[in-house]
Amino acid sequence: MNIRPIAISLSPNSQTDDVGECFKAFLNFTTWQKGIWEEKVQNWFIKYYQVKNIYLFNSGRSALFAILKSYGIGFDDEVIVQAFTCVAVPDPVIWVGAKPVYVDIDESLNIDCGLLSRYITNKTKAIIVQNTFGIPAKLNEIKKITQKYNLVLIEDCSHSLGATLEGKRIGDFGDAAFFSFGRDKIISSVFGGAAFIRKSDADNKLKRIYEELSYPKLSWILKQLFHPLAFFIILPLYNFYLGKVILFLMQKINILSKPVENIELTGGIPAVYPQKLPNALARLAFNQLQKLESFNIRRKEIAQLYFEKLQGLKSIRLPPQNKEAIYLRFNILSSKRDEIFKIFRRHKILLGLWYSNIIDPVGVDYNKVGYKLGMAKNAEEKAHLSLNLPTYPTIAENQVMYLINLIIKYAD
């Protein structure tokens, strides 16, 4: 077996060259905040999406916050989001003073566009579409609804950079789009994000908002740069317990940052948001952008293996098979979810639990973020059944087959 553990959330994209870039960035501390790498990332996105401007932020939630502000969305407004999501999506809606309105999901785990019209009121200003796990939502149908009601269509591309729908790139359908470069997203700079708006007037507002932002403190940048370097040491030792001990101690003494801070679980905003993407992390993002196509090809290959080998198992349901999806994670549904998860832990395999809560992660105060149980029954059902299999590009072929054989052995 590959010495790297099968762990879906432990910096899964990071390869040796990424660690090398991180080390170079670490040594060039005079360019941690500003430098050439921001422009390189901007130019990549401008060319890829054929947009006039792209703005880089220190997280996807900062990018979404800036988009909402650019459209003047605020107090007493409503923004439609889907249930079965991360708190990082409704939180920016709350931060601008608006109300997130949760809509149930369809069988693709994306927002059910057939339900949208009944949730639209005279207070509704925008719809955020998630493209869950890299499977495209019904964007053409949703776009017709937003045009009918004069709403802003915001594409959440955090799971779907590189995916397409009818040959058109995800991100090309909406009025605005935002991206996340989090530690377990399509590409990773530990923290980071981007946004663009197509209309000139709103884009001008976004530009002003961006220019008024500061860069994160050097101490925050240092903590993010330390993350790939730490995991370069932790991952080979993880299955021998020493790695687990090192990881626990680093988290305990706050050397490694958490993907979601406690204040966010109640709709609060951490002091670090919104800010610009620092140059040092832009360097990491740019290195991964050069590998985007190969990363996504590999994800599709792994997903195809799951489809081929796991068809016919009675106790699990596979996700929709879509040639244009990129499968950030391969989500199966099973009434044996918790049992399977525990069995795999005993085999030193950490599967994923997005989204085992209707609004993840565990500990989110549903009342504070505007969700009441029963609002989205399909999402609630799927949250109890969902289990993510890894598709990250660093997983080895023999590890994928080992995992598949375990599922066949224990799932039925």
* Catalytic site positions: 185
For the CA atoms of 287, 289, 291, 294, what is the dihedral angle to 10 degrees? 170
Whether 56 and 282 have beta carbons less than 8 Å apart is answered as: yes
Whether 349 and 406 have beta carbons less than 8 Å apart is answered as: yes
Separation CA 169–CA 150 (nearest Å) = 23
Strands 124-129 and 152-156: parallel
3-state helix, strand, coil split of the chain in percent (to 5) is 45, 15, 40
Whether 302 and 395 have beta carbons less than 8 Å apart is answered as: yes
Separation CA 195–CA 209 (nearest Å) = 12
CB atoms within 10 A of CB 141: 11
Interior CA angle at 171 toward 203 and 382, to 5°? 125
Separation CA 46–CA 104 (nearest Å) = 33
Question: CB burial class (10 A; 0-12, 13-18, 19+) of residue 149?
Answer: middle
Q: In which order are the strands placed within the sheet that holds 329-334?
A: 316-317, 329-334, 386-390
